[in-house]
Structure 1
Amino acid sequence: MSSAAEGVDEEVVVIQVTEDSSPSKKYSRSISRSDQPVVIHVRTKQSAFRLAVPCMPMPMAIFCCILNIIAPGLGTFVSAFTVFCCGYTETTPTKAFLWNVLVAFLQILTFAVVVGWIWSIMWGMTFVTLSADYEHEKELNEKRSKMKENI
């Protein structure tokens, strides 16, 4: 068995697909394990509802999540106001506010058929997930800046 330090070569095949979904060209090249890793960033297209979900500080996200579990739509309604003070979204604050108020209203309306309650819980979990992801990214950026300072 060879180790990564020995520079074992691997073949990489890239297939280019045209608009009619048929492969048109094949390229191959050899790379060694000592090459720098490639970072691929994938961005998925989100709906207007999802873009309006505010990223809040963790305590506020947990509070809104609990409100959404206890009283569907209430946590979403409270989160709508955070876009103006302590939260941010991938859209403008006014649009995010209006979308969140609409979602809160729809969650309250559909609560009677259980759909609104499940939607409200999922929305609350999204608050916490976005907050956790933001905190993780912030920690990584701090570590990167410290590493740059040390160099």
Structure 2
Amino acid sequence: MINIKTIAAAVITISCLANPAFAFGIKTFDNIQIDTSVTNLRNVALPAAIRGKGCTFYEHDNGRGEAWHKSVGWLANSYSNQDSYAEYVTYTGEWWNDRISSLKCDDSSRVRCSVGLYEHTNKGGREIILWGGQGLVNLSQYGFNDTISSFMIFCNLMK
């Protein structure tokens, strides 16, 4: 079901360049690599295994309330053992701004998703990176409840 809140947030999504002022660099966890400073958009067809993969954001703790699933849309980097696909949302939109309380990123043996969350628009303020292997995450346990204004999703397709 598509609702107007999801459409409004999707309209303001920017799928191109990350702000170079926030060059956080490569992060590695459980053999998964992401580069939050990526600015090299590669417009290629997404492999079937990666289409629709991303993270689901929830209005309340424990996955309750309104939900918004955001999928990756472009190739960010290619490593020897994985290809990293990304989506950068510079502003969550008026309705979702400072409303996200929990999230869950897709995770399987072949596709490993993660998300960098930011307190302010354009990757500003505090940053936290959460991994799909963590399952459903309540942001209150990290001091990020209802504070998210932008994010960057990565889904790595293992080779």
User: Does TM, scored on the shorter chain, surpass 0.5?
Assistant: no
**Higher helix fraction (1 or 2):** 1
TM class, shorter-length: under 0.3
Q: Which has the higher contact order (CA 8 A, sep 6+)?
A: 2
**Higher strand fraction (1 or 2):** 2
